[in-house]
Structure 1
Amino acid sequence: MPFAVYALGLAVFAQGTSEFMLSGLVTDIAADLHVSIPAAGLLTSAFAIGMVVGAPLMALFSRNWPRRRALLFFLCVFSAVHVLGALTPGYGVLLATRVAGALANAGFWAVALVTAVSMVAPEARARATSVVVGGVTIACVAGVPAGAALGEQWGWRSAFWAVALVSVPAVVVIARTIPGTRPKAAPARARVELRALARPRLLLTLLTSALVQGATFCAFSYVEPLATRVTGLDAGWVPVLLALFGLGSFVGVTVAGRVVDARPRAFTAAGLVALTVGWTGLALSAENPFATVALVAVQGMLAFGTGTALISWVFRLAADAPTLSGSFATSAFNVGGALGPWFGGLAIGAGFGFRSPLWVSVLLMVLALGTAWASLGMRRAAGRRSPDRVPAVREQSG
Structure 2
Amino acid sequence: MPFPLYLLAMAVFAMGTSEFMLAGLLPDIASGLDITVGTAGMLTPAFAIGMIVGAPLVAALARNWPSRSSLLGFILVFSAAHAVGAMTTSFPVLFATRVVAALANAGFLAVALTTAATLVSPDKKGRALAVLLSGTTVATIAGVPGGSVLGTLLGWRATFWAVAALCLPAALGILKGIPAGRVKEEATGGPALRTELAQLTRPRLLLVMLLGALVNAATFGSFTFLAPVVTDTAGLGELWISVALVLFGAGSFVGVTVAGRLSDQRPALVLAVGGPLLLIGWPALAILADKPVALLCLVFVQGALSFALGSTLITRVLYEAAEAPTMAGSYATAALNVGAAVGPLIAATTLSTTVGDLGPLWASGLLVAVALLIALPLRAVIAAGRSTEVLP
TM-score interval for Structure 1 and Structure 2 normalised by the shorter chain: over 0.9
1:292 aligns with 2:288: no
Match of 1:386 in 2: none
Structure 2 CA distance for partners of 1:165 and 1:391, relative to 1, 3 Å: closer
| C-alpha separation in 1, matches of 2:362 and 2:179 | 47
User: How high is the sequence identity, in percent, across the aligned residues?
Assistant: 49
Deviation at 1:233, TM superposition (A): 2.4
Conservation of the 8 A alpha-carbon contact between 1:205 and 1:371: no
Match of 1:355 in 2: 358
Match of 1:63 in 2: 63
Per-residue CA deviation, residues 311-336 of structure 1 (Å, 9 max, x unaligned), is 11111111111111111111111111
Conservation of the 8 A alpha-carbon contact between 2:346 and 2:363: yes
| C-alpha separation in 1, matches of 2:156 and 2:382 | 50
Within the candidate set 263, 279, 299, 2:266 is matched to 263
Deviation at 1:391, TM superposition (A): 9.4
Match of 1:33 in 2: 33
Conservation of the 8 A alpha-carbon contact between 1:218 and 1:344: yes
Matched residue type, 2:183: R
| C-alpha separation in 1, matches of 2:326 and 2:387 | 25
| C-alpha separation in 1, matches of 2:321 and 2:387 | 16
Matched residue type, 2:7: A
Alignment of 1:22-101 (within 5 A): 22-101=22-101
Match of 2:121 in 1: 121
| C-alpha separation in 1, matches of 2:141 and 2:387 | 40
After the TM superposition, which parts of structure 1 deviate over 3 Å for at least 4 consecutive aligned residues? 377-380
Per-residue CA deviation, residues 303-361 of structure 1 (Å, 9 max, x unaligned), is 11111111111111111111111111111111111111111110112443111111111
Alignment of 1:338-353 (within 5 A): 338-353=341-356
Per-residue CA deviation, residues 113-135 of structure 1 (Å, 9 max, x unaligned), is 11011101123221110111111
SS in 1 for 2:352: helix
| C-alpha separation in 1, matches of 2:112 and 2:213 | 20
Match of 2:140 in 1: 140
Conservation of the 8 A alpha-carbon contact between 2:114 and 2:184: no
| C-alpha separation in 2, matches of 1:392 and 1:81 | 41
1:194 aligns with 2:190: no
| TM-score of the pair, normalised by structure 2 | 0.94
Structure 2 CA distance for partners of 1:23 and 1:367, relative to 1, 3 Å: same
1:393 aligns with 2:372: no
Within the candidate set 279, 284, 300, 2:282 is matched to 279
- Of the structure 1 ranges 28-37 and 365-374, higher mean CA displacement relative to structure 2 is found in 365-374
Match of 2:379 in 1: 376
Per-residue CA deviation, residues 195-234 of structure 1 (Å, 9 max, x unaligned), is 1122111101100000001111111111111122222223
Match of 1:215 in 2: 218
Conservation of the 8 A alpha-carbon contact between 2:320 and 2:387: no
Structure 2 CA distance for partners of 1:391 and 1:149, relative to 1, 3 Å: closer
Cα RMSD over matched residues?
Answer: 1.9
| C-alpha separation in 2, matches of 1:234 and 1:271 | 31
Conservation of the 8 A alpha-carbon contact between 1:16 and 1:135: yes
Matched residue type, 2:129: T
| C-alpha separation in 1, matches of 2:177 and 2:239 | 43
| C-alpha separation in 1, matches of 2:125 and 2:48 | 26
Deviation at 1:286, TM superposition (A): 2.0
| C-alpha separation in 2, matches of 1:207 and 1:50 | 19
SS in 2 for 1:106: helix
Matched residue type, 2:290: E
Alignment of 1:310-349 (within 5 A): 310-349=313-352
Deviation at 1:77, TM superposition (A): 0.5
Conservation of the 8 A alpha-carbon contact between 1:207 and 1:371: no
Deviation at 1:150, TM superposition (A): 1.3
1:184 aligns with 2:185: yes
| TM-score of the pair, normalised by structure 1 | 0.93
Deviation at 1:394, TM superposition (A): 6.2
SS in 1 for 2:273: helix
Matched residue type, 2:151: G
Deviation at 1:185, TM superposition (A): 4.6
Matched residue type, 1:31: S
Uncovered stretches (5+) of structure 1, i.e. residues with no partner: 384-389
Uncovered stretches (5+) of structure 2, i.e. residues with no partner: none
Match of 1:131 in 2: 131
Conservation of the 8 A alpha-carbon contact between 2:46 and 2:98: yes
| C-alpha separation in 2, matches of 1:160 and 1:378 | 43
Deviation at 1:257, TM superposition (A): 1.5
Conservation of the 8 A alpha-carbon contact between 2:123 and 2:387: no
Matched residue type, 1:20: F
